[in-house]
């Protein structure tokens, strides 16, 4: 290994400034730059702005347009030099530079611009700077909570997918590149042409269902549903292409040689589901974030880059620093090792501070200088090395691909115990960052929900929206509007980071979206702000909304449905009670107007009390029921419950399938309207059979609701389903005369 680098006074001044201003960009701007890094300013025309409708997109595009026009006016005033810059002491005073002056000014970190001509007569202005964290990343870097949760999207390809390596002029399977530890020279699409760019070594990223895409010429590629393709409408995920986008054409290469100047469009003819839960791979293409594979132009991800940069800064500024890069599998954990080397290639950071980058017995990066001594970033597999981790101590950890962890709670507990004591007279950072794809991992989302509490001192979570990326070009913004944001639901999900509803084996995303009543959210929020009587919304950490109530309205019809229990949410066997306004159902959707996820504390009494209270308050005597399957049976014979004339609903055997199918049909038609209760939608999205080990109490409440509404639903529709003979105890099948009818027309 190299000897420790001795910091100069200039180095120490940069480090001091970064610490005093709490801004790592001061370090990265100087040490992590190379000749082509920085920001590229291109002309934005009024026609481009006219295509945008989302206010945030218009605002971002306007910034680009104004910035370019300002630079263009200055460049023209200076008689169109190839290099120019503002005076460091007087930013309003600009002047032309010679190439030597440009080089010297850039070395001093002065703001400089060089001029290039890519297409036509419009100049492109290149502002040279190093790797910089954008505003939301800088904000995240200042979080002090011990646990940080960051959730985003993913887009990857199957192991047999061939990547075109321009250096070797070969199409090489991505798994082969990963096994040989080769960083290919890929072809990246600039928007007008292909250019050669050095990518990172591919890595195994996780497991997902895979699909084979075939075009009209017979070309094929296998990817995940979230994989993004360049199309005639911009970047689109395979899911978006298959779920309603008509006649989408994919950008293809014209061949190994002509791809350097352009490509052509080709229609997709089929998408076939292949292996479920299969391994998929990814790689990074710095600066372009796309690459050519199997003739298709594909987009890659980059969520861990900002975390990698923060760890690199810590490694050269904190004495005795030790960081862990963790992931479920060793290849995933090694990604930070590969990313860091890619970021540092050709930079002063690598030249001065990197002492070594061994890969055995485990991948690690060794840094050092005379201020910090020797420091390391070590990469471990959680599944293979968790025992070893329990013998080590560190400053911080990044846990990548956290959505693949079976026991997020256990990992957080074990890794968190490694941040203890002091090192070289300073306390440990004591922070772990969970970086995850937006997948259906309820335990991970529990942590995310907890981090949304504004005063939480221990957990912080964030999911930055698309428009917080200040480097998005106007072409990017137009593509997002025309492809990703084709409807309001997609806009909220893909552009503003709203929690996804999940795929849903029985309750698909489309059904859940139809039932999500945002109008009720707005109504309830406004009523709470105005302190109107009868409105309640209570939340708890890692549970979210556990109680929601709106006032009883005379003349409306209500029913109460429940799944009995005694545990505490969000655990299994926690009682769930829902109050539904079902007036004129199914011509008018039934609305969930009250909801209680009961904290039972190992007793059935709390749910029985809440159930009775709801039945009385919403005048639902004789119009209420609960899951009476197995050990939940018998409550109807208790005085507290029996006087309410409940309908015990047995959810076993054929009846469970009958009511599940009915609930699915009602929701597919949007005939349930449900305010945003996160765990309700989450349980529906992940519900599968058999369900013996699932958290499914909320789903069972919905099935009870479907059972109580069944006579009304089929009486109105004139249709029926095959069901077993009615249970004599089911009060919906009893004669109406059994109910006492009061003069106001309400049943008791």
Contacts of 148 (CB under 8 A, 6+ apart): 140, 431, 432, 433, 434, 451, 459, 460, 461, 462
How far is Cα 562 from Cα 645, in angstroms, rounded to an integer?
14
Give the closest residue to 157 by CA, choosing from 175, 183, 133, 138: 175
3-state secondary structure of 176: helix
Contact 647, 628 (CB under 8 A): no
- CA dihedral 192→195→200→203, nearest 10 degrees, is 60
Opening angle at CA 567, ends 565 and 571, nearest 5? 110
What is the number of other CB atoms lying within 10 angstroms of the CB of residue 176? 14
> How far is the C-alpha of 700 from the C-alpha of 561, rounded, in Å?
9
Burial of 436 by CB count in 10 Å (0-12 exposed, 13-18 middle, 19+ buried)?
buried
- Give pLDDT, residue 731: 36
What stretches of 101-193 adopt beta strand conformation (E)? Answer: 113-116, 124-128, 147-152, 157-158, 162-165, 170-173, 185-189
Regions of the chain with pLDDT less than 50:
154-155, 254-263, 276-277, 297-301, 718-748
Q: Can you give the pLDDT at residue 453?
A: 77
Q: Give the span between the Cα atoms of 641 and 175, in whole angstroms.
A: 62
pLDDT the model gives residue 440: 63
Report how far residue 223's alpha carbon sits from residue 294's, in angstroms, rounded to the nearest whole number: 11
For 116, the 3-state DSSP assignment is: strand
Residues 689-723: b if buried by 16+ CB within 10 A, e if exposed: eebeeebbbbbbbbbbbbbbbbebbeeeeeeeeeb
Which DSSP helix (H) or strand (E) runs through 234? Answer: strand 234-237
pLDDT at position 153 is: 52
> What is d(CA 612, CA 331) in angstroms, rounded to the nearest whole number?
55
- What is the model's pLDDT at position 211? 76
pTM (2 decimals)?
0.61
| Angle, CA 574 vertex, CA 573 and CA 578 arms, to 5° | 120
Q: How far is CA 390 from the centre of its chain?
A: 29
Alpha-carbon distance of 682 to 504, in angstroms, equals 9
- Helix, coil or strand: residue 317: helix
Q: Report the phi/psi class of residue 573: left, alpha or beta, with left for phi > 0 and alpha for psi in -120 to 50.
A: left
Query: pLDDT tens-digit profile of 565-596?
Result: 999 998 889 999 999 999 999 999 999 999 99
CB 599 within 8 A of CB 606: yes
Domains (range + CATH), the chain: 9-131 (no CATH), 138-151+304-462 (3.40.50.300), 154-299 (2.170.16.10), 501-738 (3.30.420.240)
CB 614 within 8 A of CB 594: yes
Q: Which of 381, 404, 384, 406 is CA-nearest to residue 324?
A: 381
- Per-residue model confidence (pLDDT) at position 48: 77
Q: In the structure encoding, which two tokens stand for residue 1, read together? A: 């290994």
Q: Which pLDDT belongs to residue 108?
A: 84
693/702 Cα distance (integer angstroms): 18
- C-alpha dist (Å) from residue 672 to 397, 538, 552, 627, 712: 43, 22, 18, 19, 14
H-assigned helices in 536-645? 605-617, 639-642
Beta-bridge mates of residue 411: none
Q: Give the pLDDT of residue 107.
A: 82
Lookup: tokens for 535: 């409105």
Give per-residue pLDDT as tens, 639-663. 678 889 999 999 888 888 889 999 9
SS3 of the chain: helix, strand, coil, percent, to 5? 35, 25, 40
pLDDT at 163: 79
């Amino acid at each position: 290994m190299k000897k420790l680098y001795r910091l100069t006074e200039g180095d120490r001044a940069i480090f001091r400034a970064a610490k005093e201003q709490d801004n790592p960009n001061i370090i990265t701007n100087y040490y992590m730059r190379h000749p082509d890094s920085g920001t590229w300013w291109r002309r934005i025309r009024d026609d481009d702005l006219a295509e945008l409708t989302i206010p945030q997109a218009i605002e971002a595009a306007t910034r680009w347009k104004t910035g370019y026009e300002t630079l263009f006016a200055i460049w023209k005033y200076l008689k169109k030099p190839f290099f120019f810059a503002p005076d460091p002491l007087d930013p309003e005073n600009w002047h032309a530079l010679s190439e030597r002056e440009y080089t010297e000014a850039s070395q001093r970190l002065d703001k400089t611009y060089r001029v290039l001509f890519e297409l036509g007569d419009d100049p492109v202005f290149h502002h040279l700077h190093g790797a910089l964290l954008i505003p939301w990343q800088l904000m995240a870097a200042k979080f002090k909570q011990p646990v940080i949760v960051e959730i985003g999207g993913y887009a990857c390809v199957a192991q047999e997918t061939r990547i075109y390596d321009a250096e070797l002029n070969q199409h090489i399977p991505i798994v082969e590149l990963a096994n040989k530890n080769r960083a290919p020279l890929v072809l990246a699409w600039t928007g007008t042409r292909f250019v050669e760019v050095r990518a990172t070594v591919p890595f195994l990223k996780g497991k997902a269902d895979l699909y084979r895409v075939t075009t009209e010429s017979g070309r094929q590629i296998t990817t995940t549903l979230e994989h993004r393709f360049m199309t005639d409408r911009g970047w689109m995920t395979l899911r978006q292409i298959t779920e309603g986008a008509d006649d989408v054409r994919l950008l293809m290469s014209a061949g190994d040689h002509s791809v350097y100047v352009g490509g052509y469009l080709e229609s997709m003819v089929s998408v076939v589901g292949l292996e479920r839960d299969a391994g998929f791979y990814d790689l990074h293409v710095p600066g372009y974030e796309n690459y050519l594979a199997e003739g298709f132009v594909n987009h890659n991800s980059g969520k861990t880059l900002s975390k990698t940069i923060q760890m690199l800064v810590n490694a050269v500024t904190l004495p005795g620093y030790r960081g862990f890069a963790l992931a479920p599998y060793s290849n995933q954990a090694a990604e930070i090792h590969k990313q860091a080397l890619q970021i540092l290639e050709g930079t002063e950071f690598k030249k001065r501070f990197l002492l070594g980058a061994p890969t055995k017995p485990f991948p690690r990066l060794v840094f050092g200088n005379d201020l910090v001594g020797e420091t390391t970033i070590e990469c471990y597999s959680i599944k293979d090395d968790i025992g070893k981790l329990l013998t080590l101590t560190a400053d911080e950890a990044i846990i990548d691909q956290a959505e693949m962890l079976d026991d997020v709670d256990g990992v957080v507990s074990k890794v968190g115990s490694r941040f203890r004591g002091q090192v070289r007279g300073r306390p440990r950072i004591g922070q772990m960052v969970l970086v995850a794809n937006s997948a259906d991992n309820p335990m991970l989302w529990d942590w995310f929900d907890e981090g949304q509490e504004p005063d939480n001192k221990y957990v912080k979570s964030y999911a930055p929206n698309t428009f917080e990326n200040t480097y998005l070009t106007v072409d990017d913004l137009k593509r997002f509007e025309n492809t990703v944001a084709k409807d309001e639901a997609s806009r909220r999900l893909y552009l503003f980071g709203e929690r996804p509803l999940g795929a849903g084996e029985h309750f698909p995303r489309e059904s859940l979206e139809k039932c999500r009543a945002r109008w009720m959210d707005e109504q309830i929020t406004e009523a709470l702000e105005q302190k109107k009587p009868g409105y309640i919304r209570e939340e708890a950490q890692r549970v979210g909304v556990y109680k929601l109530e709106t006032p009883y309205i005379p003349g409306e019809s209500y029913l109460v449905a429940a799944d009995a229990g005694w545990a505490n949410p969000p655990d299994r066997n926690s009682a769930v009670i829902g109050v539904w306004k079902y007036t004129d159902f199914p011509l008018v959707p039934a609305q969930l107007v009250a909801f209680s996820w009961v904290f039972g504390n190992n007793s059935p009494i709390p749910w029985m009390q809440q159930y009775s209270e709801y039945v009385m308050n919403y005048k639902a005597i004789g119009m209420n029921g609960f899951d009476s399957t197995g050990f939940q049976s018998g409550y109807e014979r208790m005085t507290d419950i029996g006087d309410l004339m409940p309908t015990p609903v047995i959810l076993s055997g054929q009846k469970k399938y009958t009511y599940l199918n009915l609930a699915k049909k009602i929701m597919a038609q949007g005939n349930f309207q449900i305010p945003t209760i996160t765990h309700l939608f989450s349980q529906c999205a992940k519900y599968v059979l058999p369900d013996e080990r699932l958290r499914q109490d909320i789903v069972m409440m919905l099935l009870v609701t479907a059972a109580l509404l069944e006579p009304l639903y089929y009486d109105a529709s004139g249709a029926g389903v095959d069901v077993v003979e009615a249970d004599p105890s089911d009060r919906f099948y009893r004669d109406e005369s059994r109910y006492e009818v009061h003069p106001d027309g309400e049943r008791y």
